[in-house]
Structure 1
Amino acid sequence: MPVVLSLQGSHGPVIHAVNAAGAARGILIGARVVDVQAIHRDLHVEQADPDGDRALLDRLAMWARRWCPWTVAEDDGIVMDVRGAAHLFGGEAQMLRDMHTRFAMQGLRARLALAPTRGAAQMLARFGAQGVICGVQDVTAHLAPLSVAALRVPNGTVRLLDRLGLKTIGALEAVPRAGLMRRFSTVAEDHNPLVLLDRALGRSADPLNAPPDLQVWRAQARLAEPVIDPVPWLDGLAEDLAAQLAAAELGARRLRLTIYRVDGEWRFRDVSTASASRDPAHFVRLVAGKLEGIDPGFGFDLLTLEALRAEPLSLHQDRLDGARDASADVAALLDRMTAKLGPSKVTWAAWVESHKPERVEAQVSVLAGERDAVVEVLRERPLRLFDPPEEIAVLYAVPEGPPARFRWRRVAFLMARFEGPERIAPEWWRDRAGTRLRDYYKVEVTDGRRFWLFRDGVVGDARGGDPRWFMHGTFG
C-alpha cells in the first residue's frame, strides 16, 4: 500500500514523504494530496510531524555515541566520526553490521556507508550500495557513477548540470574547473557543486561540529546477587548523587529511582521537590515514601538514582548561630506532603498576569516553582472579592457615575462619596466575543462601609442591552 505523510501547503495538503511502495508508483514529494488520491485510490495519508522527527533524530544521534564520541544529526541522517573506534568492534565491517543490527532492533532501517570524508559517506549512504566501505584511494572511483544529485544541491542546479551533460560525479570531476567556477561564483558554498565535491574528495576541510554530551546526574549500585528490598542502598545512592550535584553547584528538582530486575524488566519511581535540593537525607525520605507497591519480581541486581531535572544551587554557608533555615524546612515539608498526597493536592496562591481582578490570583502546584513576585504597583484593591461578582439593583444613578442608591442582598444603601471610574477592558485573547468593558468605582455608603462596584458595559456599545451593575468586593 502506498503511504505518504502530508503537510499543509499554500493550496492544501502536499506530500512531505512517501514510502517505497508509493515511490515505485511514481508519487513525488511536493505533489498535492488530492491530485495523487485521484490517481491512487488506495493511498493512505498520515499527518507529518517534522518537529517530532527532528527530536527523534537528535535522540538517535546521542544514542549512536555507543560507537564513537562524535555524532551529529542532520535533516535525514546521522554523521559519525568513527576514526580510531572501529577496532573496538572487530573492524569496520563488524562495526557496520553491529549498527545495522541495533537500528533494526529498534524497528529502524538504516542505510550505512563508511568513507574517509564526511561528504563521501553521506553520498554513498544515500545513493550508493548498502554497507559500502570506501578507502582513501577509492573515493573517486566510488563517487564517479553517482548522480550529481548526490551532492545535495538545489534542483535548479541539478537541472543546469544535466543540460550541460554533467549527469554524474565522474563527469563533473572531468570538466575543467575554470568555466564552472565562473558560472557558480555567486552561489553559496553549501549549494556550490564544486565546493561540495572538493569536500567529498578531501581537497578541502569539512569538520564535524558535534554537540557536547548530555550531562547525566546518576548514581548506581551493582549488586553481587539479586535482592528484594532497595532501602539499604538508598543512603549510598543519595550521598553519591548529592556529591555529583554539589561539585557542579546544582540541586535536584526531580528524582527517579530505577530497579533493574533479573528477568530483564525494570520499575521506577519519580519524586519532585518544591525547590532545588541536594540534601541526601531529604532524597532518602522522599524516595523511601514512594517504594510501596513497587514490584521487585524475583529480585534486582542494579539500582540507579538519577536527577532528571537539575537547577543551579550555589554553595552556601550555614548560619553561624546554628539555627535552622526555616525556608528549607518549609520546602522539605512541601516535598513530603506532595510525595504522599500527589502534586495536584498541595497548592499555593500565585500571581497571574491578567486585567480581570478575579483572575489575578490562582492556585498552582507547589512543584511548579517559586511564586512570582508582584513587580507592578497595583491600585488599591478590596481585601475580599466575590467570585462571581453579585448583581445589584440600582435605585438611582448619578449621570456618568456610580449608583447614588442601590440594593444589595435585600438591603438598600445610600452613597456618601465615591472615587473612579477605573476602566478595565476585556482580554480579547481570552474572553469570548461580545464581552463588555467594566467601569469600577470605590463607593462609601452613609454607614461608613466601602464597596467596590462596577458597571458592566456602557450605553451604546452595541454589545448588549442596558449596562448592569455588580458588587465585586468590600474594603475592610
Structure 2
Amino acid sequence: MLALWCARLSVDRWRLGLGPEQACAPGKGADAEPTALIAETAHGPRIAAVNDAGRAAGVMVGTMLADARTVCPQVRTAPADPAGDLAFLEKLAVWAQRWGPWSALDAPDGVLVDVTGAAHLFGGEARLTADVEAACTKRGLAVRCAIAPTAGAAWALAHYGPSRAIVGPEGDLLAPLADLPVAALRLDEDVLTVLRRLGLKRLGELAGVAGHGAGGLDEEGEAASRDAIQRRFRNRKSPAANPLIRLDQLLGRVPEPLLPVVPQSTPLVQRRLVEPIRHRDLLDRVLADLAGDMARELEGRGEGARRLEIGLWRVDGEVIVRRLELAAATRDPDHVIRLFARKLDDVDAGFGIETVRLRASWAEPLALEQGEIEQSAENRGTSLAACIDRLTVRLGVEAVRRPVPRASHLPERAVRWQGPLQPAPPAQGMLEFHQRPLKLLDRPERIAVLYASPDGFPQRFRWRGEVREVARVEGPERIAPEWWRERSSARLRDYYRIEDAAGRRYWIYRHGLAGDGRGDDRKGRAPDWFLHGLFA
C-alpha cells in the first residue's frame, strides 16, 4: 500500500486559489505572510490551519483567533473550507490511480493507493515514491509518502517515519516500526493519553506488552498482559479507540476494510459556436442537437436522465444555468426539448451566446425497450411521467407531491409527502388505525370547552366563533406520545369522534389528563382541547 499524506492540504488549496501572480510557490508571494484559516465555532473563530510563516510566528492550530492575535497581531485570516478540502481530496484520490489500480480516501488529508504489482512499471518502489513526490510538488502540494505491506503501516511511516520510507513484505514488519510513537496507530486522543500514562509511548513497547514482541515474557505472561490491555479497552468497539485492534491491523493480523474511490463520469455534451447567437430560434436548434447527442450518450450507457442542467456561456463571460428535474428516468429528446422550452423563455442573450453545454447530473439505469411499431403509431397519448414533468415545470417542484404512509401512530406524522413517482415505502411496520377523518387539519386548532363531564367528553364547545352542542360521542381512543422523540413532559391524547346537533362530525382530543403531573398540569391548569379533523 502507498500512503500519501498532504500535511498542508487546506493551506495548499488556499495558496493555489490565490492565483499565479500572488502565490508562485510555497513561502513566496502572499504565502510569505503569516496566514491562518479560521472556522466559526460557538465560542468564536478558531484556527483550523496555518501556513509556515504563521507557525513560525507562534500561531498554533486549535487556538482561538483572539489568542492568536495576541501572539501575532499581523496574522492574516481566511475562511476554512472543509467541504472543499474533501472534494479536492476525492479528486486527488482519482488522480492518484495513476500509480495503482484503485485508491481510497484517508480523510481528512490523506490517500491510500494499492500498488501491488505496479512498482516495476516505474522502475521499483524507490522510483515510484520519487515520482509521487515530484508529481505532487509540480501540482503545488506538499506530501509525504511511504510504501508498506499494510495500510496501517504505510500510514504510520508517512506520518511519523522518514521521508519516502519503504518496508518490504519480507521479514518482521514490527522491527522498522518499533521506534514510532503510539500515535502512529491512528488512535483517538483520549486513548493516546491513557497509553502515555501507562508508560507505553512507542509501538515496540505496546507490541511487547500485547504479546507481539520478541522475548521478554513467556506465552502465559504475554497472554496475561494482552488480557489486561483488552480489559481496559473492552468497551471500545471502534478501531480508533482500541490499540490492540489497530496494532493487529498494522501488522496484518486483522484485515482492515477500505472503501475504494470509483470515478464517475457525468454524461455531458456541448456546442462551441463559430458565431455567437442572440435569437431564440437558433438557441432552440442548438438545444435540439444537444438533446439528440445526450440521448445517444445515455443510450450507450444504458441510463436515463433524472436531472439535466443546461449552461449558456455569454460573450461577456456570464454563465446562465437552467436545471430540470424529471419524475422518471428518460432519454427522449423531444420530451427534453419541450420541458426546456419554458425554462429558456427569460434568457437574456446579451451580446450573444458562444457555448451551450447540456449535462446529466443525475442518471439512473434505463434498459432498452423495443415496442411494436403498429401499437406505437396508434398510441398518441401522454405518459404519466411526461405529464408530471410538465406540471412540475409549470407549477414548481414542490407543488407536485403525493402522500405516502409512514410508520407513526401520531396522526400528524403518519403521512409524509414525496415525489409523485418515487417508490412508496414498504408496508412492513405500518400501523393499522381506527377510523380516521377524511380531512385532517395541518395543525390542531384549540377549542374552548364550555362544559365537560369529569374526565370525559365536552357537552358544548366553541370553535371559530360558533358554539356547538354535542349530540353523539364515540371514544376515547388514547394515543401516547413518541417517547423516543419527545420530552418526558409530553402528554397523552384522548381522541373522540363527536357529532353536533346539525349532524356535523368532528375529531377532537383532550391534551393530557387532569392530575397527570405533566406539561401545563404542573401549573395547576386543566387539560386543553383541540379539534384535529372533520369527517364527511
TM bucket normalised to smaller: 0.5 to 0.7
* Secondary structure at the counterpart of residue 57 of structure 1: helix
* Counterpart check, 1:458 vs 2:513: yes
1:349-383 CA distances to partner (integer Å, 9 max, x unpaired)?
4555554434545666x489456587543321112
> For each residue in 1:206-244, what CA deviation from the matched residue of structure 2 results, as whole angstroms up to 9, or x when unmatched?
9x9883642324142454735435432333433343344
Taking the aligned partners of 2:68 and 2:272, their CA distance within structure 1 comes to: 62
Moved more, 328-337 or 152-161: 152-161
User: Closer, same or farther in 2 for the Cα pair 1:148/1:406, shift >3 Å?
Assistant: closer
Asked if the contact 1:392/1:471 (under 8 Å) is kept, the reply is: no
1:377 is paired with a residue whose SS is: coil
Q: Where in structure 2 are the equivalents of 1:286-301 lying within 5 Å?
A: 286-291=339-344, 292-293=346-347, 295=349, 299-300=353-354
The within-5 A match list for 1:387-398 is 387-397=443-453
3-state SS of 2:71 partner:
coil
Q: Take 1:54 and 1:474, find their aligned partners in 2: how far apart are those partners?
A: 51
Structure-1-length-normalised TM-score: 0.64
**What residue identity is the alignment partner of 2:143?**
R
Instruction: State the shift of 1:273 in Å.
Output: 0.9
Q: Tell me, in whole angstroms, the C-alpha distance in 2 between the residues paired with 1:457 and 1:331.
A: 46
Q: Distance in 2 between matches of 1:295 and 1:69?
A: 46
SS class of match (1:466): coil
1:251–1:310 Cα contact (<8 Å) kept? yes
Alignment of structure 1 residues 129-278 onto 2, 5 Å? 149=180, 152=184, 159=202, 191=247, 211=260, 213-221=262-270, 223=272, 225-228=274-277, 229-259=282-312, 267-278=320-331
User: Which deviations, in whole Å up to 9, do the C-alpha atoms of 1:313-363 show, x marking residues without a partner?
Assistant: 44556588557597x634323323433454345445455555443454566
- In the alignment, is the contact (CA less than 8 A) between 1:451 and 1:473 conserved in 2? yes
Which position in structure 2 is the counterpart of 1:202?
Answer: none
The residue aligned with 1:468 is 528
Task: Give the C-alpha shift of residue 281 in structure 1.
Answer: 1.5
The answer to whether the Cα contact below 8 Å between 1:252 and 1:311 also exists between their aligned partners in 2 is yes
Q: Deviations over 1:370-412 (max 9, x none)?
A: 5658754332111233444251434352x54323455655444
SS at match of 1:216: coil
Residue 283 (structure 1) aligned with residue 336 (structure 2): yes
Deviations 1:57-112 (A, max 9, x none): 2233225558886444334333565869889xxx998996664343x3xxxx3336
CA-CA distance at 1:40 after TM superposition: 8.6
Residues 300, 452 of structure 1: alpha-carbon distance in 2 compared, 3 angstrom cutoff: same
Asked if 2 retains the 8 angstrom alpha-carbon contact of 1:258 and 1:269, the reply is: yes
* Partner-residue secondary structure (3-state), 1:214: coil
Aligned ranges 1:343-362 → 2 under 5 Å = 343-351=397-405, 354-361=408-415
Measured on the aligned residues, the alpha-carbon RMSD in Å equals 5.7
CA contact (8 A) 2:268 2:360 kept: no
Name the stretch that deviates more: 246-255 or 72-81: 72-81
Q: Deviation at 1:442? A: 1.7
Q: Which residue of 2 aligns with 1:336?
A: 390
Partner of 2:137: 100
Farther-moved stretch of structure 1 (186-195 vs 466-475): 186-195
Post-superposition shift, 1:473? 2.9
> C-alpha separation between the residues in 1 aligned to 2:101 and 2:350?
35
Partner of 1:200: none
Gaps of at least 5 residues in structure 2 are 1-33, 169-175, 187-191, 207-212, 227-242
Partner Cα separation in structure 2 for residue 381 and residue 475 of structure 1: 8
Counterpart for residue 111 of structure 2: 78
Give the counterpart letter for 2:137 in structure 1: H
- Kept in 2, the 8 Å contact 1:219–1:240? The answer is no
Contact residue 153 and residue 192 of structure 1 kept, 8 A: no
Cα distance, 1:117–1:419 mapped onto 2, change above 3 Å: closer
Matched-pair contact (CA < 8 Å) for 1:7–1:15: no
Instruction: Name the stretch that deviates more: 366-375 or 112-121.
Output: 112-121
Gaps of 5+ in 1: 137-144, 164-176, 197-205
Letter aligned with residue 475 of structure 1: F
Deviation string, structure 1 residues 13-57 (Cα, Å, up to 9, x no partner):
99986653565578888xx858x9989943789998877754542
Aligned residues: 429
Compared CA separation, residues 359 and 217, structure 1 to 2 (3 A): same
Secondary structure class of the residue paired with 1:289: helix
> Amino acid of the residue matched to residue 526 of structure 2?
D
Distance 1:282 1:457, change over 3 A: same
- The aligned counterpart of 2:434 is 379
Q: What's the secondary structure of 1:334's corresponding residue?
A: helix
Distance, in Å, in 2 between the alignment partners of 1:341 and 1:405 is 43
Is the contact made by 2:475 and 2:496 (CA closer than 8 Å) also made in structure 1? yes
CA distance change for structure 1 residues 113 and 352 in 2, over 3 Å: closer, same or farther? closer
Q: Tell me by how many angstroms 1:277 deviates.
A: 2.1
